[in-house]
C-alpha cells in the first residue's frame, strides 16, 4: 500500500510509456518489501533542469534518466561520477547526503551481465563493438577499464566511431570495414539495428558470414529478445547473449545507489521478460 511514508523513484524522459524501468524496479521493491514505488514522468526536451529542481523540491529518492535528458541534466546536478563526466551522459541520479549525484550505469551493467551471467572476463580479450551511440560509448569505456586488450569499433558514421575510439585511445580504434570481426572473442551489437517497430526491424548490423563458431555475440537490443542478429549468430555456432542481462544489471546498479540494498536480480529479470512477452 502506498502511504505517506512511501518513497518515490521515477524515470524522466520522452517518451517513457514503453519503458521497462517501472516494471523492473517495482518488482524489486515488492520482492524486498521496501516501501518504495517507481513511476515515470514524461518530461519534454528542454525540461531537464526543471525536472531536477522538482526532484530536490519533492525529495524524490532516486531517478532514472533517458532520452533526451541524459546530457542535459548534468549542469543541474551537484556532481557527476567520473564515468558520467567522461561520457557526458547520466542515466541514474541518486542522493549522497544533500547532494544529487549523476551516474552512468550502462557500462558497468554490461560488464556485470557478461561476468555474472556468462562467466566472461574482458581482461586481455579482443572485442568488436558495432555502433558508436550512447550505449556503445558506455560499453567501450567499460571494456577498456575492464582490461580488454583490443577494441575495434565499427560504425556507419565515421566521426562518431572515431569519437568513441577516443574514449580509450590506447586500445580502441575505429575501422571502416568489419574485417577484424573474425578475430574477436566478443562481438557486441550496440546499434539499434534489429529493434522491433523501427525501420531496421528484421535487419542485421553485420554480415553473419564474418562470424566464427564459438564467439560470444551480444545484442544489446532487447526488443525483441531474440533479434535476427542473435538468431544468425546462433546458426553460425556462436554463443548468443540477449540484451536483457545488461538491462537488468544497469538497473540493479541504480537500485543499489538509491536503496543501499542488494537487488533481487532474478525477480527483476522475470518481470522484464513478462513485460516483453506481453508486448
According to DSSP, residue 251 is labeled H
| Distance, first Cα to last Cα, the chain | 27
Q: Given the complex with ligand NDP, which of 125 and 223 has the nearer CB atom?
A: 223
User: Would you say 65 and 73 are in contact if contact means Cβ atoms under 8 Å apart?
Assistant: yes
Return the residue of 105, 191, 215, 269 that touches ligand NDP, per CB under 6 A. Answer: 191
User: Would you say 77 and 25 are in contact if contact means Cβ atoms under 8 Å apart?
Assistant: no
User: Active site includes 70?
Assistant: yes
19 binds ligand NDP (CB under 6 A): no
The radius of gyration of the chain from alpha carbons, rounded to an integer in Å, stands at: 19
Nearest distance, CB of residue 191 and ligand NDP, angstroms: 3
Nearest to ligand NDP by Cβ — which residue?
A: 133
- Per CB under 6 A, which region of 24-32, 33-41, 186-194, 261-269 contacts ligand NDP? 186-194
User: Would you say 138 and 151 are in contact if contact means Cβ atoms under 8 Å apart?
Assistant: no
Nearest distance, CB of residue 260 and ligand NDP, angstroms: 23
User: Would you say 129 and 151 are in contact if contact means Cβ atoms under 8 Å apart?
Assistant: yes
Q: Which of residues 124-183 bind ligand NDP (CB under 6 A)?
A: 131-136, 155-157, 160
172 preceded by cis ω (within 30°)? no
222 binds ligand NDP (CB under 6 A): yes
Nearest distance, CB of residue 97 and ligand NDP, angstroms: 29
Nearest distance, CB of residue 249 and ligand NDP, angstroms: 8
Please pick, among 70, 223, 249, 253, the residue that the annotation labels catalytic. Answer: 70
Place of cell 551511440: 133
Nearest distance, CB of residue 201 and ligand NDP, angstroms: 11
250 binds ligand NDP (CB under 6 A): yes
Helix axes 244-259, 21-32, angle to 10 degrees: 50
Q: Map residue 107 onto helix, strand or coil.
A: helix
11 binds ligand NDP (CB under 6 A): no
Return the residue of 247, 254, 272, 276 that touches ligand NDP, per CB under 6 A. Answer: 247
Sequence-separated contacts (24+) of 55-62 with Cβ below 8 Å: 55/93, 55/100, 56/100, 58/8, 60/8, 60/9, 60/10, 61/7, 61/8, 61/9, 61/36, 61/95, 61/258, 62/9, 62/10, 62/92, 62/93, 62/94, 62/95, 62/254, 62/255, 62/257, 62/258, 62/259
Size of site (CB under 6 A) for ligand NDP: 24
Q: Given the complex with ligand NDP, which of 4 and 199 has the nearer CB atom?
A: 199
Q: Which of residues 103-122 bind ligand NDP (CB under 6 A)?
A: 106
Q: Given the complex with ligand NDP, which of 65 and 220 has the nearer CB atom?
A: 220
Catalytic residues: 70
Applying CB under 6 A, the residues found at the interface with ligand NDP are: 106, 131-136, 155-157, 160, 190-193, 195, 200, 220-222, 243, 246-247, 250
Amino acid at each position: 500500500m502506498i502511504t505517506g511514508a512511501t518513497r518515490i523513484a521515477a524515470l524522466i524522459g520522452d517518451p517513457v510509456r514503453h519503458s521497462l524501468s517501472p516494471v523492473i524496479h517495482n518488482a524489486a521493491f515488492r520482492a524486498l518489501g521496501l516501501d518504495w514505488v517507481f513511476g515515470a514522468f514524461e518530461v519534454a526536451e528542454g525540461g531537464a533542469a526543471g525536472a531536477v529542481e522538482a526532484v530536490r523540491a519533492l525529495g524524490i529518492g532516486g531517478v532514472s534518466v533517458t532520452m533526451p535528458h541524459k546530457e542535459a541534466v548534468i549542469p543541474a546536478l551537484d556532481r557527476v561520477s567520473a564515468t558520467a563526466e567522461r561520457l557526458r551522459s547520466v542515466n541514474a541520479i541518486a542522493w549522497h547526503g544533500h547532494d544529487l549525484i549523476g551516474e552512468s550505469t550502462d557500462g558497468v551493467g554490461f560488464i556485470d551481465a557478461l561476468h555474472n551471467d556468462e562467466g566472461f572476463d574482458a581482461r586481455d580479450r579482443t572485442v568488436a563493438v558495432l555502433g558508436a551511440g550512447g550505449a556503445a560509448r558506455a560499453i567501450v569505456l567499460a571494456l577498456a577499464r575492464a582490461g580488454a586488450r583490443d577494441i575495434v569499433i565499427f560504425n556507419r558514421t565515421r566521426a562518431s566511431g572515431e569519437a568513441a575510439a577516443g574514449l580509450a585511445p590506447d586500445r580502441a580504434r575505429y575501422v571502416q570495414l568489419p574485417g577484424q570481426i573474425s578475430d574477436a572473442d566478443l562481438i557486441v551489437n550496440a546499434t539499434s539495428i534489429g529493434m522491433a517497430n523501427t525501420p531496421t526491424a528484421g535487419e542485421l548490423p553485420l554480415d553473419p558470414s564474418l562470424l566464427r563458431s564459438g564467439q560470444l555475440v551480444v545484442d544489446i537490443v532487447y526488443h525483441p529478445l531474440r533479434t535476427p542478429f542473435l538468431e544468425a549468430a546462433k546458426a553460425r555456432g556462436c554463443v548468443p547473449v540477449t540484451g536483457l542481462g545488461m538491462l537488468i544489471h544497469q538497473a540493479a546498479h541504480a537500485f543499489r545507489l538509491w536503496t543501499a540494498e542488494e537487488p533481487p536480480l532474478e525477480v527483476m529479470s522475470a518481470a522484464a521478460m513478462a513485460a516483453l512477452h506481453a508486448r
